[in-house]
């Protein structure tokens, strides 16, 4: 049943991109990220590490967040199989589209709304959709205070 639901979700996302272009899922992802940030704030969750841990744990990932320096975090999500809950199995042709239309806008909107006094930058290091040999989503996040 879960597998069928994920297949439907992936087909839905692909169809949304086919019909509305990359901006349609990007707009939806941005709005959903902002809404989730507001829910977290209403529950008193405003710590970057705690918030990221929670959103990725909900996707079934083992989450590793390591602070590299005062403003930089190394974030690794390990899934049980070489499968991304958002984008599915390895598909390099779809990887950049999923990243730019869903993953990045959702996470960035979530963090910008949760932490409005920070400037955020990220760099994707590994993506399940791009590589066959890993089960990781790995990125580096820089969160610098706007006013220092």
Burial class (CB in 10 A: 0-12, 13-18, 19+), 28: middle
Chain segment 92-125, per-residue pLDDT in tens = 888 888 888 888 999 999 999 999 999 999 999 9
Instruction: Look at residue 32 in the predicted model and tell me its pLDDT.
Output: 92
Enumerate domains of the chain plus CATH numbers: 2-145 (3.30.1380.20)
For residue 72, pLDDT beyond 70: yes
Q: What is the pLDDT of residue 43?
A: 95
What region, left, alpha or beta, does residue 88 occupy, with left being phi > 0 and alpha being psi -120 to 50 degrees? left
What is the model's pLDDT at position 1? 47
Confidence band for 83, pLDDT divided at 50, 70 and 90: confident
Q: Using one digit for the tens of pLDDT, what is the confidence trace for 4-53?
A: 666 777 777 778 888 877 788 899 999 999 999 999 999 999 999 999 99
pTM of the model: 0.84
Give the DSSP per-residue string, 51-110: HHHHHHHTTT-EEEEEEEETTEEEEEEE-SSS-BTTTBS--HHHHHHHIIIIIHHHHHHH
Q: Is 8 in a helix, a strand, or coil?
A: helix
Average confidence (pLDDT) over 66-73: 96
pLDDT given for residue 97 in this prediction: 85
pLDDT of residue 121: 93
């Amino acid at each position: 049943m879960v597998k069928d639901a994920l297949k439907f979700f992936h087909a839905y996302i692909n169809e949304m991109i086919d019909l509305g272009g990359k901006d349609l899922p990007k707009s939806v992802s941005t709005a959903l990220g902002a809404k989730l940030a507001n829910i977290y704030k209403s529950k008193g969750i405003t710590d970057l590490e705690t918030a990221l841990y929670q959103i990725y744990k909900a996707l079934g990932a083992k989450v590793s967040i390591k602070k590299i320096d005062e403003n930089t975090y190394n974030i690794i999500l390990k899934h049980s199989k070489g499968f991304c809950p958002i984008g599915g199995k390895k598909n390099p042709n779809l990887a950049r589209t999923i990243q730019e239309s869903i993953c990045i806008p959702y996470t960035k909107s979530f963090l910008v709304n949760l932490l409005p006094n920070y400037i955020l930058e990220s760099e994707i290091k590994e993506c399940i959709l791009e590589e066959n040999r890993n089960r990781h989503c790995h990125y580096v996040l820089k969160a610098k205070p706007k006013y220092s």
